[in-house]
Amino acid sequence: MVATRYKTAFKLYPYEKVAAQDAAPVRHPVVIVGGGPIGLALALDLGQKGTPALVLDDHDGAGLGSKAICFAKRTLDIANRLGASQPMVDKGVVWNVGKVFHDDHKVFDFNLQPEDGHRNPAFINLQQPYFEKYLVDAIHTAQAAGAPVELRGRNCVTAMEQHGSYSTLTVETPDGPYQLEADYLIACDGARSPLREMMGLSFDGRVFEDNFLIADVHMKADFPTERWFWFEPPFKNSGQSALLHKQPDDIWRIDFQLGWDIDREKEMDPDRIRARVDAMLSSQAGEVPEYELEWTSIYTFQCRRMEKFRHGNVIFAGDSAHQVSPFGARGANSGVQDADNLAWKLDLVLKGLADDSLLDTYATEREHAADENILNSSRATDFMTPKSELSKTFRNAVLELANKHAFARPLVNSGRLSVPCDYTGFALFGADTLLGGPDISKPGMPCPDAPHGDGFILDHLGGGFILLALGCEAQNVSAHGVGAQALNIMAPSDALKARYLGNTAQAVYLIRPDQHVVARWNNFVADDVTAALATAIGKG
């Protein structure tokens, strides 16, 4: 039997018996355990590149309930590359204004006016089940076009055995267990990762001694589409901090920071939750608007990661590899970047175009990213929950000063929004020989978006390696059988010039399939580009 651990919001990959269940174990190049956002993004990416990917999930769709709501621009850019972003942006709530309150007064508000000339907004609010559904929709579209992706719902991995060059999995289904084999096994099985447990690997870090009550509330109130955050909120029993944030379908996310010593069961009593929500909403609306509790839950957060994301032919991605507190929305957002990083490397290795050691760079690059995310999330949590009297004195000093003086506002930390990782200095990247080139597009950075033709430059980057020539001409190059396709733009738009040329008249960029800049030059020299390309696939 396959136990149901949670209810699903959408049934996305219903169980269907496959012939392999009655046959000898079949070997697959890539088996992904877990059909959450990370496993799905990885499967879609691999499938679009023509590399077979089998996803096993113990449920048959997206889990219902309050999880991620904030999806950042980089995630949307990746989803756009995968052909899945449009419904996300259409459905999602775009917001720019945030207000920060301390007790009963407003400290300041900010407007994250997006910079012009990007396809995607800085972020959207969208319930995680929708995010997963749109990825599955894109997988179905890709399957119809021949992409070798398979999703098996209600397939629960209950045992694994790692051999030299492959792993054997035992999978429980409604029709009983069967076995299969994987050349590469990708563990996208979430923070509690059963695979990590089965392998006896540790997951160390910091537990924040705090409980957060999260209530998703359905109401037709005309509160503005803004993010409201309170430090030491004035409404009754609301804890150390509170948050109000809008989602699609007239749903509002409300968070209360309850502290450590609480009686969880008592706090989950709907009457008690309603009393809290009433106090918060009436403090803003003057009266209690009509609302229904959609979903409530109490979370304790931690910041931790596995020491190594790669263990032989088993690779960890997403929450199984790293976990952060949600302030800054770095969980799913960073996990999708894991998938983005891993897909092209796995694809090249499986096609025999790169050595297996290329996958080590997935681990080093993403371990670095996880450290950055953990650092940011820990800092936000420490600001929100001062750990000593003194740190609270400074925290409140910042809030008081921020009310009067602009200088203190950047110190206020109620979560720093997820930004993509910069891989500067890692082994696969080349030199920055473009004097005067902008920092935002230096080697290691993800390519900034900019208008180009009828669309945007990111529409043309990624998939494979691209050689972007601005104001000059480059030719296709190849190294060890891997090609880089030239994209020559003789008359770049102003935004392209600002974001890629800076003070120079022309430039040549080598760009990875995950849209990170490998190296850049003043002009096209085939030998230099070929050498950088070889380095980028681990053959430098």
Partner 1 sequence: MSMLILTPNLPDPDGFYEELIRAHEGLTKEQSDAFNARLILTLANHIGDREVLRQAFEAAK
Ligand X SMILES: Cc1cc2nc3c(=O)[nH]c(=O)nc-3n(C[C@H](O)[C@H](O)[C@H](O)COP(=O)(O)OP(=O)(O)OC[C@H]3O[C@@H](n4cnc5c(N)ncnc54)[C@H](O)[C@@H]3O)c2cc1C
15 binds ligand X (CB under 6 A): no
Closest Cα partner for 31 from 127, 151, 137, 145?
151
Q: Using CB under 6 A, which of 142, 149, 332, 447 touches ligand X?
A: 332
CB of residue 394 to partner 1, shortest distance in Å: 5
Q: 424 contacts which partner out of ligand X, partner 1, none, CB within 5 to 8 A by kind?
A: none
139 binds ligand X (CB under 6 A): no
DSSP 497: I
Q: Using CB under 6 A, which of 12, 30, 32, 34 touches ligand X?
A: 34
List, in sequence order, every beta strand (DSSP E) within 12-155.
26-33, 53-56, 61-63, 70-72, 93-94, 97-102, 105-111, 123-125, 149-152
Q: Which is nearer to ligand X, 36 or 471 (CB)?
A: 36
CB of residue 508 to ligand X, shortest distance in Å: 34
Size of the site for ligand X (CB under 6 A): 33
Q: Which two tokens stand for residue 35?
A: 């059909």
Angle at 220 between CA 215 and CA 222, to 5 degrees: 105
CB of residue 37 to partner 1, shortest distance in Å: 37
Binding mask 455-474 for partner 1 (x = CB under 8 A): --------------------
Exposure string for 285-315, b = 16+ CB within 10 A, e = fewer: eeeebebeebbbebeebbbbbbeebbbebbb
Q: Which two tokens stand for residue 352?
A: 């025999």
Q: 148 contacts which partner out of ligand X, partner 1, none, CB within 5 to 8 A by kind?
A: none
Q: Which two tokens stand for residue 189?
A: 């099985």
Binding mask 89-128 for ligand X (x = CB under 6 A): ---------------------------------------x
CB count in 10 Å sphere of residue 146: 8
Q: Which is nearer to ligand X, 12 or 107 (CB)?
A: 12
Number of Cα atoms under 13 Å in the Cβ half of residue 538: 16
DSSP 446: B
Is 119 within 8 Å of 77 (Cβ atoms)? yes
Residue whose token pair is 């803003």: 284
Per CB under 6 A, contacts with ligand X among 198-237 are: 214
Q: Which is nearer to ligand X, 57 or 367 (CB)?
A: 57
Binding mask 293-322 for ligand X (x = CB under 6 A): ------x------------------xx---
- As a whole number of angstroms, the distance between CA 145 and CA 513 comes to 21
Q: Which is nearer to partner 1, 401 or 472 (CB)?
A: 401
CB of residue 68 to ligand X, shortest distance in Å: 3
Q: Using CB under 6 A, which of 53, 69, 342, 479 touches ligand X?
A: 69
Q: Which stretch binds ligand X (CB under 6 A): 238-246, 305-313, 323-331, 518-526?
A: 323-331
- Within 8 A by CB and 6+ apart from 84, the residues are 44, 134, 135, 137, 138
Say whether 450 sits in a helix, a strand or coil. coil
CB count in 10 Å sphere of residue 425: 9
- Name the strand (E) or helix (H) holding 528: helix 526-536
Residues in a beta bridge with 101: 106, 230
Q: Which stretch binds ligand X (CB under 6 A): 31-39, 101-109, 288-296, 523-531?
A: 31-39
CB of residue 400 to partner 1, shortest distance in Å: 6
User: For 113, left (φ over 0), alpha (ψ -120 to 50), or beta?
Assistant: beta
Q: Which stretch binds ligand X (CB under 6 A): 96-104, 109-117, 185-193, 423-431?
A: 185-193
55 binds ligand X (CB under 6 A): no
DSSP 447: P
Radius of gyration of the chain (CA): 24
Binding mask 389-418 for partner 1 (x = CB under 8 A): -x--xx-xxx-xx---x-xx--x-------
Q: Which two tokens stand for residue 64?
A: 């219902």
CB of residue 192 to ligand X, shortest distance in Å: 7
448 binds ligand X (CB under 6 A): no
Provide the binding-site residues for ligand X, judged by CB under 6 A. 33-39, 56-59, 66-70, 128, 156-157, 188-190, 194, 214, 299, 318-319, 326, 329, 331-333, 335
Binding stretches for partner 1 (CB under 8 A): 390, 393-394, 396-398, 400-401, 405, 407-408, 411
